[in-house]
Structure 1
Amino acid sequence: MRQFSEERPEDRWEVEALFDLSFAPGREALSSYRLREGVAPVAPLCLVARDAGGILGAAIRYWPVRVGEVPALLLGPVAVHPTRQGEGMGALLIRESLGRATALGHPRVMLVGDAPYYGRYGFAKLAEVEMPPPTNPERVLGLALVPGAWDGIAGSVMRAI
């Protein structure tokens, strides 16, 4: 399961079921979900990984957001089916999708997550960027896909319009 494809509309319910399985109940109450309401995901970056039998093993999504008037990508959710964890699929999905984001000209990506895990991909704390509450500011991380893309960026994260 090393081949990825863009998530198709017919994948939606299966991907949602994977996210439900992978995350705690009430995941949609998180502040990051409020930023996604009524906004289409960035389709070329929303990827799925299936095995030779067509079974979904992992998925990742990206969403457009703004920090003030500055556009950014919001990575997440990313999930690997429990039976496929430990195979490196999550890391491959993240690297593949970040490479695609760079190739498409996106300058910056952010997420809410664990710094020790996402730090290995180059993500670091965004001290001046505020997610809607209740988000732990220590978990607001960013990655510049273009050198300096986060320099001087500060403010509240808002839904893309």
Structure 2
Amino acid sequence: MIALVPLAAVDPEAVEALLDRAFGPERRTRTAYRIRGGTLPVPELSFAALDSAEKLLGTIQCWPVALACDGGDAAPLVMVGPVAVEPERQQGGIGRALMERMLDAVPDCTAPGCGALMLIGDPEYYGRFFGFTAERTSGWRLPGPFEPRRLLARGDSVPDCAGVLGPRVRQAA
């Protein structure tokens, strides 16, 4: 039996170790890390999968980001991912269960940007199963290399403007 719990209930070092096993230590050089740099996960949308012995099997993290539109507006979004699963447990539905749990939490999410989710991922998978598309992302620029067809979004509040995607960091008062 797998339990899905808030990510905050799990040791952050265990999460980092899982991410290294799932994606390798070079993961920190990816464009996604630049987009969300300096932010903390959105607690309402970040979860962990534990087995009956409370061993960490998978995680999903969501991050506060923003699209700085060329016209001057800034639109808050939530970046979905990474979705990490223990390598020996991949292809067993854990990642899908984490995505479904996160999407189930979206209507109750009070954080800015919850109505505009985005991710970098396989359009055939995330489109078919979760409704993500590249319809409104063609004008988005990222702080590093990416494949435009893999830049996906979903939600009524996804902006349809050209601009730069980056972290949404709270400013000190």
Quick check: TM above 0.5?
Answer: yes
Matches within 5 A, 1:47-126: 47-68=47-68, 69-105=74-110, 106-119=114-127, 120-125=129-134, 126=137
Q: Which residue of 2 aligns with 1:30?
A: 30
Distance 1:154 1:102 in 2: 27
2:109 is matched by which residue type in structure 1?
L
Pairing 1:140–2:151 present: yes
Letter in 2 for 1:157: L
In 1, Cα distance between the equivalents of 2:56 and 2:100? 18
Cα displacement string for residues 41-90 of structure 1 (whole angstroms, at most 9, x for unaligned residues): 11121110101111111101000000111000001111111222222111
In the TM superposition, residue 159 of structure 1 has moved relative to its aligned partner by 1.2
Please, which moves more after superposition, 63-72 or 130-139?
130-139
Displacement, 1:96? 0.8
Instruction: Output the CA distance in 2 between the equivalents of 1:132 and 1:31.
Output: 6
Structure 2 unaligned runs (5+)? Answer: 69-73
Measure how far apart 1:153 and its partner are: 3.5
Structure 1: state its 5+ residue gaps. Answer: none
Two-structure CA RMSD over aligned residues (Å): 1.7
Identity of aligned residues (%): 34
Between 29-38 and 114-123, the greater mean CA deviation after superposition: 29-38
Deviations 1:1-33 (A, max 9, x none): 442111127521111111111114411011211
Q: Secondary structure at the match of 1:28?
A: helix
Tell me the TM-score normalised to structure 1 length: 0.90
Range that drifts further, 4-13 or 65-74:
4-13
SS at structure 2 position matched to 1:8:
helix
